[in-house]
Amino acid sequence: MSIGTPKYSAEGSTGAEAATRDPLTPGVKRWQLRFPRSLRTPLGFVGAAILLIWLIVAVFAPLIAPFDPLAQDFPRLAAPGSENLLGTDTLGRDVFSRIVVAARTTLPAAVFVVICSAVLGSVLGAIAGYFGRAVDEIIMRIADLVFAFPTIILAMVIAAALGPGLKNAIIAILLVSWPSYARVTRSLVMTARSSEYVIAGRLLGFSAGRSLVREIAPNVISPVVVLATLDVGSAILTMAGLSFLSLGAVPPTPDWGAMISEGVSQFAAWWIAFFPGLCILTIVMAFNFIGDSLRDTLDPHTAQEVGETTS
Amino acid sequence: MRRLTRSFVAICSTLALTAGLAACSGGSDEAGGSGDTIVAETAFSLATIDPHRQFEFTGSTIDNALYQTALEFKDGDLTKPTDGLCSFEMSDDDKTMTLKLKQKDAKFSNGDPVTVDDIVFSFERLQGLKGNPSFFLDGVKVKKIDDETIELKSEKPNPALPYILPNSSIGIVNSKVVKENKGTTDEKDGAEQFLNENSQGSGPYKIDTYDPDSQVVLTANEHYNGPAPKYKRVVLRNVSAETQLTDIQSGQAQVAYDLNSDQANSIDDSMAQKTSLPSTRSLYIFNNMDSKVSDITTNEDFRKAVASAIDYDKILELSGEGAQRMAGLVPNEFNGAVPKDQAPERDLEKTKKLLKKSGYDGEKIPFHYSSDQSVNGVDLAQLAETLQAQFKEAGINLALKPAPSATQLDGFRSGKQPMGIGTWGADFPDPSNYNVFVPGGSVAERVNWDKDADPAITKLADKAEKADEDSRGDAYATMYKSLSDTGVWIPLVQPVDTIVVGNSVKKFVSNADTSFDFAKAE
């Protein structure tokens, strides 16, 4: 390979060239090739199936929920039965309806917060890694500052300072989760920037922005995608934790974490906490399965390391 | 072979570690509270057990067992103070109280007799420390007349004094020993630590060990002049309500203080007995009277609409069996309470008419409450959600504004909250303790209700303050009814204090004054 020929160039190739070329030859983006295969593992399939079910539940929640999730129309603390499938809570609200409607809050919020923190962290990490020196020092020391605190504690402090509410919980999680992406992206960019194809691009007069976006980004994005997928589960757990502590969604908005918090003082009415807990468990597992499968295919180097460690 | 050896070592290590941890866990001898030991559990609210400094629930519970007081409430009747260590007499102008030492056989835990000097020292120490409970004797001059008599002279008529003296914060301490251990009657006092570790009272128990984070142990005071307690040892443990529930069910504890009504009802009758006492707490809705804070809560028609939009029966159901309606802010068992049959009822037609008259256009009103606070089992977050749903049915829209207790209290004190849930716990069972809600009072200022805002109520308050012993109850009731009618304070519910007692305790006394009485349990 001569200098200036990127391994995975974002420049692409013409249709005729692509048709006659081996898929592993330069010019084909890695994610385009491997992403569909990543879910073909058993765990990936299970994860995707669970996630699909939850997506359907979230999208069609108003049709699936049998009752108004805010209506206090039923006897308090009624056990699961034919009328209230998963029982009622301390205020006489249908637990099943609340769980279903809560999916509409939790899922989009978790995905949104992960996308935002991945974008923010990756951009900052890429800038730090590419430019180095003072820029790197400033950005990474700020990241270290955030890393110095346990995630949930820092999120609690931020959410408490901003006041309870879904928006503030999202901001809190965003502020504590971006440094992971910054650190991963920075190390990848630092490696990539000394690659021959990047150097060649710069010699050809590419700007820093173009070099980062067109040359480096496609080659560092896979680990970030894997990290983001695994992080959705963590984001859901953190949001549930904040809601448990009354720092998440403001009542009466149904929220899994808040429902568990309510159930904790009602051991006899086990259904109040058990079913929202089950929801969190399944959805976090789903994202973890998908993340693991993506890592195995998109980031074989890490997968190999994990395999060696666990074997 | 090597792998087998490694596994064997691992199993042995695990067993050794488990055995070690079990040995280190300690306390197993008092886990179940057998024989002459009783184990009680509560989520501690405890800063000190120095009687003249403590002002918290757990401190009060402990000091009730350690110290005797000059006066008492017999059998928990909060309407009638009776003789304690002393008998009492009030002057006609309610300015002078004369105490006569009555229980001359009372002895402190070291055997010293209780004297008038001890009582005078205790009163003066309470005043001089300038701590949380010092206000009890504000404006009162304490004077020893002779070895049997004490005179308490108030600057202005103080008919509430007999209701104040039974408070455990005015417990009588052994002045000689306390003075020997840096005890003084001013702010230089340094006896707190000593009193935390060595109680100096004449009550049925004395302190054995004091750990404000985990547990406090009391042992019987052999010099107590009353009947000797059957339980010689009381272990009070700091655990959450959820753990109290499991401990009562498993027999690990005999008394649980903090179970809510639902939790108490989930316990099988074969395991424990439930006793419900009227709480001395009041829950109410406040409406801000400053138009800069809210245009709508200052409108009397709107406030009355709010009062008639509440489904009080549902609030009672949520608060648990034994909770009571309130027509005023004063708990029903107190002198000066407004009879509860005068409490408002839900009337949605009336609400709609009043709302129309008020000009309310459906705007969302910020509604503040403590999201982490539960008052005698009433979760304020759940109460707020219930009210929001009820108001919505009536056409009133609330925007819930939950906040942790400390933040919420700061917000309330700043006077910038338009509407929300407030709570008040009686410092002493007398209607004058609720004067803070009258226009110009310290709590009224938090809703910007100034002194001159309602002359009619101010006049009724003055009349009640000057009323004689026979008529003050009615005078206060009339005043508090008018106060409720303004809708600035809308009384919601008087919760219930549920105490669960394990069936191994065959006989016990619990009342609104001392709560569970360890000395009388058998």
Q: Count of domains in chain B?
A: 2
Query: Considering only CB atoms, which chain A residues are within 8 Å of B239?
Result: none
Please check whether residue B105 is in contact with residue B155, taking contact to mean a CB–CB distance below 8 angstroms.
no
pLDDT at B168: 92
Rounded Cα gap, residues B117 and B122, in angstroms:
8
Question: Among A250, A262, A264, whose Cβ lies nearest the Cβ of B402?
Answer: A250
B interface with A, Cβ–Cβ < 8 A, is 241-242, 245-246, 260, 262-263, 266, 314, 317-318, 371-372, 379, 381-382, 384-386, 388-389, 400-404, 407
pLDDT at B374: 85
For A203-236, how does the pLDDT look when each residue is reduced to its tens digit (9 = 90+)? Answer: 888 888 888 888 888 888 888 988 999 899 999 9
Query: Considering only CB atoms, which chain A residues are within 8 Å of B389?
Result: 70-72, 91, 252
pLDDT at A42: 85
What's CA B158's distance to the chain center, in Å?
Answer: 22
Q: Which H or E element spans position B90?
A: strand B86-90
Query: Considering only CB atoms, which chain A residues are within 8 Å of B384?
Result: 251
Angle at A190 between CA A189 and CA A194, to 5 degrees: 105
Report if residue B20 sits inside a domain. Answer: no
Q: Do B479 and B450 sit in the same domain of this protein?
A: yes
ipTM above 0.85, yes or no: no
Please check whether residue B300 is in contact with residue B488, taking contact to mean a CB–CB distance below 8 angstroms.
no
Mean pLDDT, to the nearest integer, of A150-156? 89
For B314-325, how does the pLDDT look when each residue is reduced to its tens digit (9 = 90+)? Answer: 999 999 888 999
How many contacts (CB atoms, under 8 Å) link A and B?
60
Please check whether residue B508 is in contact with residue B501, taking contact to mean a CB–CB distance below 8 angstroms.
yes
Report if residue B295 sits inside a domain. Answer: yes
DSSP characters for chain A? Answer: --TT--TT-TT---HHHHHHS-TTSTTS-HHHHHHHHHTTSHHHHHHHHHHHHHHHHHHTHHHH-SS-TT---S-TTPPS-SSSTT-B-TTS-BHHHHHHHHHHHHHHHHHHHHHHHHHHHHHHHHHHHHH-HHHHHHHHHHHHHHHTS-HHHHHHHHHHHH-SSHHHHHHHHHHHHHHHHHHHHHHHHHHHHTSHHHHHHHHTT--HHHIIIIIIHHHHHHHHHHHHHHHHHHHHHHHHHHHHTT-SSPTTS--HHHHHHHHHT-SSSTHHHHHHHHHHHHHHHHHHHHHHHHHHHH-HHHHHHHHHHH-
Mean pLDDT, to the nearest integer, of A40-44? 83
Cβ contact A266–B262 (<8 Å): yes
Rounded Cα gap, residues B306 and B292, in angstroms:
20
Q: Is the pLDDT of residue A36 over 70?
A: no
Confidence of residue B1 (pLDDT cuts 50, 70, 90): very low
Q: Do B212 and B358 sit in the same domain of this protein?
A: no
Q: Do B122 and B241 sit in the same domain of this protein?
A: yes
Cβ contact A91–B318 (<8 Å): yes
Question: Among B241, B260, B400, whose Cβ lies nearest the Cβ of A251?
Answer: B400
Rounded Cα gap, residues B197 and B220, in angstroms:
15
Looking at chain A, how many residues does it have? 311
Q: Do B272 and B307 sit in the same domain of this protein?
A: no
Q: What is the pTM of this model?
A: 0.79
For B370-386, how does the pLDDT look when each residue is reduced to its tens digit (9 = 90+)? Answer: 988 888 889 899 999 99
Mean pLDDT, to the nearest integer, of A288-305? 75
Q: Do B109 and B258 sit in the same domain of this protein?
A: yes
Query: Considering only CB atoms, which chain B residues are within 8 Å of A261?
Result: none
Q: Do B203 and B250 sit in the same domain of this protein?
A: yes
pLDDT at B196: 95
Q: How far is B240 from chain A (nearest CA, A)?
A: 10
Q: How far is A276 from chain B (nearest CA, A)?
A: 18
pLDDT at B278: 85
Q: Do B198 and B81 sit in the same domain of this protein?
A: yes
Q: SS3 string of B167-207?
A: CHHHCCCCHHHHHHCCCCCCCCCCCHHHHHHCCCCCCCEEE
Q: Do B290 and B151 sit in the same domain of this protein?
A: no
Q: Is the pLDDT of residue B414 over 70?
A: yes
Q: How far is B507 from chain A (nearest CA, A)?
A: 28
Domain boundaries, chain A: 106-310
Query: Considering only CB atoms, which chain A residues are within 8 Å of B272?
Result: none
pLDDT at B520: 87
CATH code for the domain of B311: 3.10.105.10
pLDDT at A4: 38
Q: Do B272 and B337 sit in the same domain of this protein?
A: no
Q: Do B328 and B179 sit in the same domain of this protein?
A: no
Q: Which residue range(s) make up the domain with B218?
A: 37-276+498-520
For B36-77, how does the pLDDT look when each residue is reduced to its tens digit (9 = 90+)? Answer: 999 999 988 888 999 999 988 899 999 999 999 999 988 778
Lowest mean pLDDT, pick from A198-207, B193-202, B304-313, B485-494: A198-207
What topology does CATH give the domain A106-310? MetI-like fold (1.10.3720)
Query: Considering only CB atoms, which chain B residues are within 8 Å of A251?
Result: 381, 384-385, 388, 400, 402
Residues 6+ apart with CB under 8 A from A84: A74, A78, A94, A95, A96
CATH code for the domain of B122: 3.40.190.10
pLDDT at A305: 58
Q: Do B372 and B448 sit in the same domain of this protein?
A: yes
Cβ contact A267–B371 (<8 Å): no
Rounded Cα gap, residues B153 and B98, in angstroms:
9
pLDDT at A14: 40
Please check whether residue B142 is in contact with residue B123, taking contact to mean a CB–CB distance below 8 angstroms.
yes
A interface with B, Cβ–Cβ < 8 A, is 70-72, 76-77, 90-91, 160, 163-164, 246, 250-252, 262, 264-269
